[in-house]
Structure 1
Amino acid sequence: MDREPGLSVRLKLAISYAGFLMVAGVFLLVAAWIGLMQFRSGGVVIMTTTYTFPHLLWRSFAPVAAAVMAFLLVFGLVGGWILAGRMLDPLRRITEATRVAASGSLSHRIRMPGPKDEFRELADAFDAMLAQLETHVAEQQRFAANASHELRTPLAITQTLLDVARNDMTHDNDVLVDRLRAVNTRAIDLTEALLVLSRANQRSFSRERVDLSLIAEEATETLLPLAEKNGITIETSGEEAPTVGSPALLLQLTTNLVHNAIVHNLPDAGQVWVTTSVDTPTVVLTVENTGERLAPHVISTLVEPFQRGSERVRTDNHSGVGLGLAIVKSITRAHDGTLTVTPRPEGGLRVTVELPAD
């Protein structure tokens, strides 16, 4: 925004300080003059001349008053300028940090020294904001790089298959078509997952009353054939858990959790538990599964985009796109909830989603 040039805040404060001293000086001199006049009216005679006492008093008082006012003016301007500079120094540092951040550098921090006051609270809040922005930008950059890599992979495979088919005219076209179809399906799944993730991050969805228990039942019924195919038993239980949100996104969240619990499970006789409950003022969705014991460093990476967890055992050939729990995390955050991922002592994973109760 273009603005007309004006006086600096420091100069305004200096002038205000000097003006305050001048007004105080005027009142002081008036009080002194009134006191001297009352002293004369009390009957004390200081000297005898042809002039009356008030005239003599004024002739001696006026130069002193002028000198005092001049001194107060200079002292007020100089002192006000120095004091204003010291008071506004934290604001200057904040302004410089803002300009550095505006140039694209988010690693700079103010780190204002001294005890807490309004300026230092502002500086600390600004540092916290920069830290969050830096983390968010870094996450977005990693996500963009990973997404580009993941999207390039099916395109590169498609190009390779087409090149092989062109160079080898005797190649079985049915095999080529099946492979191209599988690669294309994976690319579509990845694109749809990215769209869901973007929609959740932008919170561009309508909200309505949703019962998580019904959502859990629907997701379980949808994935039951996959569970039976892999010898996984699913148990669904719990009470009505009303919340407010997007039915489609919450169904996607629950489906992702149940799907992960099925495909990352024991090779034989695995189990999945899906439960809902009310823990005022929140409703809770918990999905647990059996499986191998997971290292702590694996747990911490599972909710990051495109992190599949190299130590997790898979029960089928569903490779996924590496966005399952990342989408769960984004949907949970978009609904003002919390996501907790913890390993089960006996092996497997426990994922808990808490959302505000309706």
Structure 2
Amino acid sequence: MGEVPLSGASIAVVATNENCALISTDITPILPSESCRIATNNGVASPTQPVSEASPLSIKDERMMISSLITCDSQDASLPCGSYVKSLAPTWIDQLGQVSAQWFDYPSFGHSAVGVKGIYGCTAVIIASEKGVYISHIWESPVFVDQAFNPTDDNFFTITAFNSLRDGTIFAKSVASLIGTDQSPGVLNAIYAPKVFVLTPFTTDWDRRNFGIFTMLRYQMRAQELAQKIANIVPGSGGKGIILGYTRTSQQASNQEPGIAGRAIFEIDPYYKWLTTPYDSKSAGLQIGRWNLWVESKLITYQDFWLPQITAPMALPDEILGTEAW
């Protein structure tokens, strides 16, 4: 994909015909109550890095999922959610440099999606607000580990991962620059209810056998550190990021189009519903938008929000899902 502006970019409008039922607004970081089948590696693979090849994954392994919101098997695109996710056709962020990140403004109308794919060992940070979404990609190597899977120096990790996102680089939009002040709030200001998510791979049998890693997530401590540090600089996020796991897959599968493996998709419908009242004929009504966060084919969470800056159109678009009375 060609280079996209690091700020002020808009999510492309897409059309979808299928509907996958939503579940809950509650987010549970790690719950040992759900399990699914995921693929792991029976051989030695290289850590994901710019210009690298990953070995195909074949062995199945039982791992606990981090959320109780799962409704579809992430590896089965024939199920309703998998088919729906494959139909979204999002705009994908660039993966330039060791760390890359972009900000996308929500469109005023139209069903849209943006996301990160090609994550087959890499980590992504997603910050959603009522104004737009910030999505980043962090290479597994050389940021988390070197080519021999040795952990990188802690100071190097902090500078390369967290500092790059906080302060910005030529390829990464600065999180701090999007916060603003009370007098001039930015798109990640507390008034826009930002939420911080960190997506990182699950631990595999190969990780346990070769490196003695028995945490649920391959880079659990560093993912927690990154989530905490990002949340600490984003006011209104609750001071705590939400850690999500995904199934380590092959480079080919994570980049397949259409596909569901090795990707996260952020879906937005600014015209999800319009609230009107029969008691005030002069009322323009209230526009309600909704965003959904998908990991593979799982709906992790969603949020409805009010769009006070939008006035009611003369004729509401056909894609508005419903109208409710106050």
Work out whether the TM-score is over 0.5: no
Into which bin does the TM-score normalised by the smaller protein fall?
under 0.3
Q: Which has the larger radius of gyration?
A: 1
TM-score between both structures, scaled by the size of structure 1:
0.21
TM-score, normalising length: structure 2: 0.22
Q: Which has the higher contact order (CA 8 A, sep 6+)?
A: 2
Higher strand share goes to which structure? Answer: 2
When you count helix as a share of all residues, which structure comes out higher? 1
